[in-house]
Amino acid sequence: MQVSNLQRQIYHTHTHLFQVPEHLMILMLGMVCSSLTTTVPVQAVLFDIDGTLCDSDPLHHLAFQELLLEIGYNNGVPIDDEFFIKNIAGRSDVEAAQNLFLDWPLEKGPKFLDDKEAKYRSLAKERLVPVKGLGKVVQWVKDHGYKRAAVTNAPRINEELMISLLGLSDFFQAVIIGGECEQPKPAPYPYLKALKELEVSAEHTFIFEDSPSGIRAGVAAGMPVVGLATRNPENSLLEAGAVLLIKDYEDPKLWAALEEIDREEAKLKKGSA
């Protein structure tokens, strides 16, 4: 397998993290790149929003924590990161309500979540920041002329606010809301709907996601998924089916994979010339 200089650079830059010989790590990096190059020629790139475009989970956690304390949830003990990741992060409002309020009437959970989302939006207006390197990957997608959509389980009012705050209102050609589909993530329907709206195929599309449920949705829809390890445990993202894990959009592993896509697409153009 031919490998790039950048793949070798990744190994040597992070060699203290690797517990395998160089030739095996280079092979693994080559396999990662190959899993994305199967989408060449790329038609579209899809993005989750929370935790993928912006590191919003701490704000969601804080909003939940404050409102749950107000109603004496968990005997007044604040929910911790482990509880948030296990029961709330990446889930639809309905699923989160079911996890939190097993004994509540069905209508009570959604009302609480509406209040929580309002609290989150007030926090987001002051504190929302993009994932590091987001502007760089957004420019890469635009420069290549790929179609793009945001696919989220967040309510539409949240989605509109976050995309606006991030300056991406003119970037996305479609925004898919899980709650407006047959089923939200982890079901594949939101991603399948994005493919239909963009008029592209799963075979030529890849996804950026940060949660196990989102990754499972993308995999079930037939696309390779790049997992962002912004908050969720890395092993949970791999178990869900991520083909590549990155810390953020400046991660050298990501740019090794995108560099490989560029080379493969250049070969295709040369061959058809």
Which are the catalytic amino acids? Answer: 48, 50
Those residues whose C-beta lies under 8 Å from the C-beta of residue 66, and which sit 6 or more positions away, are 119
CA–CA distance, 93 with 245 (Å, rounded to integer): 26
CA–CA distance, 101 with 108 (Å, rounded to integer): 9
Q: Quick check: 128 and 59 in contact, CB under 8 A?
A: yes
Q: Give the C-alpha distances (Å, rounded to integers) separating 134 from 54, 63, 121, 147.
A: 8, 24, 21, 17
Closest alpha carbon to 187 in 100, 99, 92: 92
b/e sequence 176-210, b meaning 16+ C-beta within 10 Å: bbbeebeebbbbbbbbbbbbeebebebebbbbbbb
Q: Quick check: 44 and 200 in contact, CB under 8 A?
A: yes
CA–CA distance, 4 with 15 (Å, rounded to integer): 17
Closest alpha carbon to 264 in 52, 151, 256, 224: 256
CA–CA distance, 141 with 171 (Å, rounded to integer): 10
Q: Quick check: 259 and 4 in contact, CB under 8 A?
A: yes
Q: Quick check: 183 and 177 in contact, CB under 8 A?
A: no
